[in-house]
Structure 1
Amino acid sequence: MANDQLGKFGVWRPYSMVTPEKVRELEELGYGAVWLGSSPPADWDGYEALLAGSDTITIGTSIVNVWASPAAQAAETFHRLDARFPGRFLLGIGAGHREHTGEYTKPYDALVQYLDELDAAGVPKERRALAALGPKVAELARDRTAGALPYLSTPAHTASLRKLLGPDTLIAPEHKVVLDTDIDRARELGRNSTSFYLSLSNYVNNLRRSGFHDADLTPPGSDRLVDALVLHGTAEQIADAATEHLRAGADHVALQVLGDDYVRDLRALAPILTARV
């Protein structure tokens, strides 16, 4: 999958909260991809409906958990979708969290084995991507997939990945958004959405690499941390901040809008984001 096929901006959303009608509207607004989060199962029966209800937008998983969905199942889904909707499905995979998986041992080895099985099943390297934060898994993403899908990261992390991975590897970070100019209200919503991740070692370790300290990372997180992880303000301010990832070397940014009406906010952002690229 060519990086430009995704466009510069997409939308990240829990898979159970995405409908064909909303995907169609996001496509019409100019977003290039919808990323299905919260670990969609590889055999979820909603993929076809989302693709059938739209014409060009990419549907990606962000991510299928390798502990929960066998590689053979993921490969079967990929081939079924690709036969009907050529080039429009990207299989994002990842190892989840040590704290939530009883058999979480040697996650790197599990990822390698999963990719080996996808190879054997004929899933092309360029049509899959890997949740990657640290350098070892990021290099695996470069060598064995189209690229990296960082989550809960900053433009500084994007810049470090681009330096590590070179010019040709896809880097498509997720970033949270609150369209609200009331800073206290925006921070409260942002903190409620990010404090959970401060109990997960992979995110905490990556945020340390990105320059945050104990005072920032102690739950529920400092204002400095929340402001970095959750863009807030006017649509213009959010668009300017989101394009920092592109300037840092990202190919694509997946916006996760927090709040009651995410499509309304994405409508407001769409023309401004288009003007920024």
Structure 2
Amino acid sequence: MSKTLGVWDHASPWMRDPEALAELERLGYERVWFGASPAADLSVVEPALAASTTLKAATGIVNVWDGEPDPVAWRRVTEAHPGRFLLGVGAGHRQLVGERYTKPYDRLVSYLDGLDEGGVPESGRVLAALGPRVMRLAGDRTAGAHPYFTTPEHTAAAREILGEGKLLVPEQKVVLSTDPEEARALARDRLAMYLQLTNYTNNWLRLGFTETDLADGGSDRLVDALVAWGDADAIRERIAAHWDAGADEVALQVLNPDKMDVLRALAPVRSGTSF
């Protein structure tokens, strides 16, 4: 598989702007990932696909607790835009789902069973996966995995579990700034919510961070490992580290306010060249 870049955002309005989408396509980005638990009816991705020609779209992720699978929506989107949509699904978080969050692994299996019954092929879906058990499920039942808020070290471990031939698309948060205070402030603003979610904190502990790293808004060590910041070359080094670890695509989430300016600076295609 070729190494590509995607764009990840919380289904923000700019991600539905036809001019912005057309520019992302010109800049060489592979795919836009719509976060913030988009609905299974896939209404959020259809305008993006209609507004572009080759740009792909994915959900990052449809939450399996928000309802049952919607194979009808998947068929509608894929028939209108063949080869351009990838359904990302995941189990969300106990702290956000509440009492419904029981046996999340079983719920994932049941949801995948429903997609099977509805005719959604394994090649048309990926699974949000952090821990080894769900990562193995992603390899067994889907096209691959879409880990979120991780490191190149996690990417390497994920590739080992998935094996070759499975799609691996980690999300990577970036801040284009060489000012450590500014960059880490933007990073901690985004990190704050995730420090309350045990799926992420447990994963970071598995990666070798400590409870001290998780305290008081996150240590510099944790922030610097999770959020790539610096000049464009420094951020490209982090992207390359994921690729070298086995990622097929890296989905960039820009934390700077001027998102498009950053994406232009990091574009895989600029003036007909690539990096």
Same fold flag (TM > 0.5): yes
TM-score range, shorter chain: over 0.9
- Secondary structure at the counterpart of residue 24 of structure 1: helix
Determine the structure 2 residue equivalent to 1:174.
Answer: 171
**Mapped partners of 2:254, 2:11: distance in 1:** 14
TM-score, length-scaled by structure 2: 0.95
Please tell me the residue identity of whatever aligns with 2:93.
H
**Mapped partners of 1:141, 1:200: distance in 2:** 21
> How many residues end up aligned between the 2 structures?
270
- Secondary structure at the counterpart of residue 174 of structure 2: strand
- Secondary structure at the counterpart of residue 195 of structure 2: helix
- Secondary structure at the counterpart of residue 126 of structure 1: helix
RMSD: 1.4
Query: Cα offset for 1:46?
Result: 3.2
**Mapped partners of 1:14, 1:216: distance in 2:** 26
| 1:140 equivalenced with 2:141 (yes/no) | no
**Mapped partners of 2:45, 2:247: distance in 1:** 26
Within the candidate set 157, 161, 168, 1:160 is matched to 157
**Mapped partners of 1:29, 1:52: distance in 2:** 18
Query: Cα offset for 1:224?
Result: 0.5
More helix by share: 1
**Mapped partners of 1:134, 1:44: distance in 2:** 27
- Within a 5 Å distance, the mapping from 1:1-277 to structure 2 comes to 4=2, 8-17=4-13, 18-19=15-16, 20-71=18-69, 73=70, 75-102=71-98, 103-271=100-268, 275-276=274-275
TM-score, length-scaled by structure 1: 0.94
- Secondary structure at the counterpart of residue 263 of structure 1: helix
**What are structure 1's unaligned runs of at least 5 residues?**
none
Give yes or no for contact 2:29–2:268 (8 Å, CA) kept in 1: no
**What are structure 2's unaligned runs of at least 5 residues?**
none
CA offset digits 1:29-50 (Å, max 9, x no partner): 0000100011111124332211
**Mapped partners of 2:67, 2:57: distance in 1:** 18
Runs of 4+, deviation exceeding 4 Å: 271-274
Query: Cα offset for 1:214?
Result: 1.1
- Secondary structure at the counterpart of residue 129 of structure 1: strand
Give yes or no for contact 1:236–1:272 (8 Å, CA) kept in 2: no
Give yes or no for contact 2:42–2:74 (8 Å, CA) kept in 1: no
